[in-house]
Amino acid sequence: MNRVWSMAESAPHCGSCNSALPWVVDTSDDTYTGIVERSQVPVLIYMCAPWCPPCRRMTPILEQIAKDLAGRVKLVEVEVDEAPKIIERLAIRSVPTLIVMKGGKALATHVGAAPAVIVRSWAEEVLV
C-alpha cells in the first residue's frame, strides 16, 4: 500500500511500478496553504457539503477524474461548513464549486453540479 502525503510538492507515484497515483486530499483552514498554494501540481478544489445533494452526486465524478488524471492534478475537497476562512478567502457563494489553481492562482471556476462528461471536459481544457 502506498502512502500519499497531502502536502507533498510533486505528484505521488506507486512505490512498486512507479505509475502515477490519484491524489485526493481534504483540507481545512489550517492546512490550506501547504496543500493548495505550495503544490507543484495543478489543484482542483472541490467546495462541497455533506448536506448538499448535488455535492453527493459530484463526489464520485470528481474522484474518477482524479484517477483518470493521476499525476496531472491534485483533487482537494473542502467541506464548506468546516472551513470558513477558505470560503471567505475564495468568495464561495454556493456549492458545489470547482476551482482549478496553479501556483496559488485561480485559473478557472465552475459553479454548480454538472454531468461527468461536462466536468471532465472542463477540467481537461483548463489543465492543458
> What pLDDT does 106 receive?
94
Question: Cα–Cα distance between 77 and 95 in angstroms, integer?
Answer: 12
> What pLDDT does 127 receive?
86
Q: Is 52 a known active-site residue?
A: yes
Q: Is the pLDDT of residue 9 over 60?
A: yes
> What pLDDT does 104 receive?
87
Tell me the mean pLDDT in the region 3-28: 78
Q: Write out pLDDT tens, residues 50-92.
A: 999 999 999 999 999 999 999 899 999 999 999 999 999 999 9
Burial of 93 (0-12, 13-18, 19+ CB in 10 A): exposed
Q: Write out pLDDT tens, residues 87-122.
A: 999 999 999 999 999 988 999 999 999 999 999 999
- In the set 14, 17, 48, 52, the catalytic residue is 52
- In the set 14, 17, 48, 55, the catalytic residue is 55
Q: Is 17 a known active-site residue?
A: no
Write out the three cell numbers for 38.
505550495
3-class SS at 93?
coil
Question: Cα–Cα distance between 39 and 4 in angstroms, integer?
Answer: 14
The one-letter code for the residue type at 88 is E
